[in-house]
Structure 1
Amino acid sequence: MSERLLLTALKGGNNTKIITLNGKKMKKMPSALEKLPGLRTLDLQNNLICNVCPELSTLTQLTLLNLGNNQLEEVPEEMKHLTSLKKLHLFGNRIHRFATGVCGGLQELILLNLNYNLLKSLPEEIGRLKNLTYLSINHNQLTMIPTELCSLVHLSALHLNYNQLTCIPEEIKLLQNLRQLFLVRNNIEFLPEGLCHLKKLRILDIAGNVIQIFPAGFQNLKLREFYCEGNPLFLMRPITARQPKDIWTLREIAARFVLCQLEENNDLIVNAIESYPETKDKLSKAKKCALCSKPFLSEWLECVQFVPPSKNWKISRNLHLIPLRILLCSYHCFDQRGPKVFGIVPE
């Protein structure tokens, strides 16, 4: 039947640029596609196709392929030959894997739609889709985002709604062209500090996660829309708790002294530290007190600071104050805090 349908569609002759066989109950792709090397658009959505035909790899001028709502179980290897493909729709299938090497040939791809599939993970080679600007993987079973995805420097829109993500990699800061990030209905507990470096981000939707607090600097994002309903955000409801004394280890006291000397460019310390690479590496992970700006290594007090959202943001109705995570170096600084800074009591 697929061959007959294709012949009917070929009334325009072998120079046909567009083939649409939508909802024809086709169980396989027509092998006669190899007679159409100049085909630009192939729409086979809403059929019963389980596998692509080998002849698909001859369509090297194809720019749009729609196989949405079929019965594919993988992103097939044959697609690596579609070197001109710009838009690929594979939504509504049963896809749970990528064939090895398939991403290597899709260097011109700018849009990939994998919504409503069964993906539990993405391959590392997803990072080879260098021209991708739009990626949508809503309603799958993803548990993590590979750091390789964060090498897609042209990515403008990333949709990961309704998955099983628990965290976002710090490397997301590399997506400097990202304008839209959708993470609705996952299991995300924390947003990374790297998110605060996305200068072009305009829409962020994290509704329905388990986020309580945002990283410092979050309030400086140039968002136009921000939605966070359904998260157990910290509320400004202070309780009284006993305040212990500051007790630092000798290691921490020494580390703070050395860190201060390094900030002051003490030549003796600067030169000496070069002979201890492991120590230098540990000191490079030091933090700064949000109040006094002095460096510290490991002993710190986690606090929440409540700040109003930007007036330029279109926000969730229930968001009046943004809880930001800040670190203080000591209870001495904690005593000097402002009226909207509170310590977080461990559970």
Structure 2
Amino acid sequence: MAVNMYYSSESSDSENTAEVSSLDYSYLMLDTHSLAVHLRNSIREQNVQQKSLLATPNSTVTGGESGDSKDGDRDDGDKDGGQDSITQKLLLQHNMLLTVPFEIVKFSHLKMLDLSNNNLTHVNDFILQLPYLQTLYLQNNNLADDGLPKDLSTLSCLRELNLSGNKFLRVPQQLYEMVGLRYLYLGSNLITEVLPEIKAMQSLQVLHLGGNQLETVPDELGELHQLGALILCDNRLRYLPRAISSLTRLRSLLLHKNNLCCLPVGIVKLRGLMELSLRDNPLVTRFVNSCARELMYNPPSLLELAARVIKLKRVAYTSYDLPHTLVTYLSNGQRCVNPKCKGMYFTSCVEHIKFVDFCGMYRLPLMHYLCSSRCSSKTPDYYRATSESESEEDEPPAARLKRVLLG
């Protein structure tokens, strides 16, 4: 299955304005052994060319030394010696590789390696010997949960990793340790869970998790403050965590083909959001009203009622007065979304759908959390995409949602 990269033109750090030396063995249908032979020959030829350039043609002594060295290099090449310190891009996609050839480590200054569209079931540890690697494409292979090296974090220069179109059942644990990674593509796998440890990946700018089997995503996604594009389409999500509204740099949020009946109301506060894709979700179908009727209100427990009184009446207490579990519980209180209500809740609240106008064209159902079934559901002013006192001409372009894709 072919997998397209999102924002791939922006995400390559391996190329600057200067021309980069590349070696292209793509689309040749080579197996691992045949490719290894090609790589060895390439290194041998490059070493010969370098020695030839270093030779001084006007000096007989130097020329003889050069000739001797050249023969020696040929012998070394036949023994798999030599290094390639020039090539920065190695294109090996669309071959028949079952394993990664060891000869790759001889390309000591490699910055971009494309192994996509092969038949790889695992990536050998020796790939960690490429200290300058910035971009690694492994999409559309047969990699499973145990298919990657355990210590990928040693690739400290790696900025882009594409693992889409493989057979991962979960996000590989070692990825959470790659704190310098900016672009991570895990689309079209079989992933059912994203762990809270993802919050350590503070450099992420694009996270592609579309085409998996996710039913939930963790609140910790809201801690990835550099994120500009979050792709969660083609999953099984029924709701999003409210922490998504903390992603103030988010420009694109793709949610199409899920089971969403409503959105966290905080999404409308994402002033940098330019693209929101919602098609093929229940929230844009005629069943949205029935979804709202199914929302239930669970009456608060005695524990919650007592906690509400303590917080609302500002009853003083210290960690010595209460067990640690109760102190933690009290610290998790949430204020009611109604600006005219001073109430709060802990675990029991009223889930209420409020339709909010976007772009003057779309009315989207957003989820409100109220403290009581008797609480008013008036929408605060800042939940509107554009306030009544503001004209579109006065509002900066980046502060307006540009596209809402419903169909």
Q: TM-score, normalised by structure 1?
A: 0.80
Q: How does 1:191-210 map to 2 (within 5 A)?
A: 191-210=240-259
C-alpha displacement of 1:43 = 0.9
Pick aligned residue for 2:121 from 69, 73, 85:
73
Q: Equivalent residue for 1:330?
A: 372
C-alpha displacement of 1:68 = 1.2
Q: Is the 8 A contact 1:246 1:330 kept in 2?
A: no
With over 3 angstroms needed to count, the CA separation of the structure-2 counterparts of 1:214 and 1:273, relative to structure 1, is: farther
Q: Any gaps of 5 or more consecutive residues in structure 1?
A: 1-15, 312-318, 341-347
* Alpha-carbon distance between aligned partners in 2 of 1:200 and 1:245, rounded to the nearest angstrom: 34
Q: Is the 8 A contact 1:58 1:81 kept in 2?
A: no
Q: Is the 8 A contact 1:308 1:321 kept in 2?
A: yes
Q: Equivalent residue for 1:11?
A: none
Question: What's the CA shift string for 1:54-95, capped at 9, x where partnerless?
Answer: 333343311010111111012332222211100111122111
Name the % identity.
Answer: 25
Q: Equivalent residue for 2:26?
A: 22
SS at match of 2:366: strand
1:63 aligns with 2:111: yes
Q: Equivalent residue for 1:297?
A: 346
Q: Equivalent residue for 1:52?
A: 100
**Amino acid paired to 1:332:** R
* Alpha-carbon distance between aligned partners in 1 of 2:27 and 2:120, rounded to the nearest angstrom: 15
Pick aligned residue for 1:135 from 164, 168, 184:
184
Pick aligned residue for 1:180 from 206, 223, 229:
229
* Alpha-carbon distance between aligned partners in 1 of 2:238 and 2:31, rounded to the nearest angstrom: 43
Q: Equivalent residue for 1:6?
A: none
* Alpha-carbon distance between aligned partners in 2 of 1:240 and 1:115, rounded to the nearest angstrom: 35
With over 3 angstroms needed to count, the CA separation of the structure-2 counterparts of 1:255 and 1:42, relative to structure 1, is: same
SS at match of 1:332: coil
**Amino acid paired to 2:26:** N
C-alpha displacement of 1:201 = 0.1
- Structure 1 residues 131-140 or 290-299, which shifts more? 290-299
Q: Any gaps of 5 or more consecutive residues in structure 2?
A: 1-19, 44-80, 381-407
Q: Is the 8 A contact 1:78 1:102 kept in 2?
A: no
**Amino acid paired to 2:194:** I
SS at match of 1:322: strand
Pick aligned residue for 2:307 from 255, 258, 276:
255
Q: TM-score, normalised by structure 2?
A: 0.69
Q: Equivalent residue for 2:318?
A: 271
Pick aligned residue for 1:37 from 84, 87, 91:
84
C-alpha displacement of 1:249 = 4.9
Q: Equivalent residue for 1:231?
A: 281
* Alpha-carbon distance between aligned partners in 2 of 1:108 and 1:148, rounded to the nearest angstrom: 21
With over 3 angstroms needed to count, the CA separation of the structure-2 counterparts of 1:307 and 1:74, relative to structure 1, is: same
C-alpha displacement of 1:136 = 1.4
- Give the paired residue count: 309
SS at match of 2:317: helix
Pick aligned residue for 2:363 from 321, 324, 330:
321
Q: Which has the higher helix share?
A: 2
**Amino acid paired to 2:255:** I
- Structure 1 residues 40-49 or 289-298, which shifts more? 289-298
Q: Is the 8 A contact 2:298 2:348 kept in 1?
A: no
Larger Rg: 2
Structure ranking higher on relative contact order (CA contacts 8 Å, 6+ apart): 2
Question: What's the CA shift string for 1:84-137, capped at 9, x where partnerless?
Answer: 100111122111133342412211111111222222122221022222111112
